Structure 1
Amino acid sequence: MRTHAEGPAGNDPVMPDAVATVHGDTLTLQLTGDIDAFTAPTLLEQAHKIVASGTVRHVDVDLTEVTFSDAAAVRALSRLAAEATDRRASFGMRDARPHIRWLLQQVGAGHLLTEPD
């Protein structure tokens, strides 16, 4: 499932995108582009629906192609993590660029990263 979101007018963000795939009991969410307060809710909507269905036991968020994130996007990802945990599913984010990793650590979400520093 692919979801696009438009950012606010007047700037040139990298077009955000989310691709959600389910293989067995694992949801892989591949995020790309600029993820912020305007785009995160739309991009994560499908992932929330999949997690809420109770059919997945693992949520793997690939941040390889995320070029920008703000604290609001991190909060949205943290809510997805909490929902997964509430449904007894594991949650992890991986392959964050250094500036995204720094943001995650600064806002207290570094523990959601699956790879060591």
Structure 2
Amino acid sequence: MTAAQFRTVQQPLDPTAAVGEIALFDAGGNPLDLSGGGQKITSVKATALAAGTAPTATLANGVLTIGIPAGAKGAPGTAGVGVKSISLTKDTDGNITGGTVTKTDNSTTAITVTTA
């Protein structure tokens, strides 16, 4: 088993090709040479790591396993308010002139209707 660090190359990616580049480095920061008859990567596997841990990469039996740390968890957002009902008001000619929105927290908001 070869323990390795990995770094992604920061360059624009062609979305039509879906190809990226990964460079592998040993624990001392030296690039790994996989072309000289050593191990070859035959498949790649990604595993989730806990937030705050360092990324990992191992190469064993041709399988490159990359450990990717989770991002930091954000704070919970405030509860949302939805629409419970809408009632519309008509004038004597049947035209909609306004109305009221009742929200899921039972607050209400007037609906203003304007004509062009």
TM-score between the two structures when normalised by the length of structure 1: 0.21
TM (norm. structure 2) is 0.22
- Higher RCO (C-alpha 8 Å, min separation 6): 1
Structure showing greater radius of gyration is 2
| Higher-strand-fraction structure | 2
